[in-house]
Structure 1
């Protein structure tokens, strides 16, 4: 992918540059806004401290909501939905990973 496919998102006051196909840009931005909102909600509760812990709690809450959604007859979770969530979680993992480019 070229650098023109890079999307910058802001999550909990930090910017992340994520490679994304143009057709997925809107979904990625929406997911980043949703995640940012969940993380801010958790941080404002004051019971969880630290960005990594907040991210894990947000991920657990989102996964819980998704799993409960599949039990709801009006909103069945499809295989495509699970694949999209898995793909987004992989992107978040990559964005949160320490910069692995050699320094020099």
Structure 2
């Protein structure tokens, strides 16, 4: 691929140059904007610190949404689903929390 097939996207204040076929450029830009929005929501929430952790949380949220839509496309989002997502996010927060006994590096 030539450099003319390179697309620059900005995600969470960082630029990434990505090789992409011309016919997929619009989709890539849309995906980057969506991911940037999700990561900004998480960062603004203040519970997750660090770009890598924010990216993992965004990936988990997006994947959860995708899998949920595939499993129950006819169902609208309900209070139960929101509670399940909150529970999942709490478990992820706990898993990502630094271990107070481990040395900082």
TM over 0.5: yes
The structure that has the greater radius of gyration is 2
In structure 2, the gaps of 5 or more residues are 76-105
Matched, 1:70 2:70: yes
| Per-residue deviation, 1:71 | 1.6
Higher relative contact order (CA 8 A, sep 6+): 1
Matched, 1:44 2:44: yes
- Give the TM-score normalised by structure 1: 0.69
| Per-residue deviation, 1:66 | 0.3
Partner of 1:14: 14
In structure 1, the gaps of 5 or more residues are 76-104
Partner of 1:24: 24
Structure 1 runs (4+) deviating above 3 angstroms are none
d(CA) in 1 for partners of 2:41, 2:13: 13
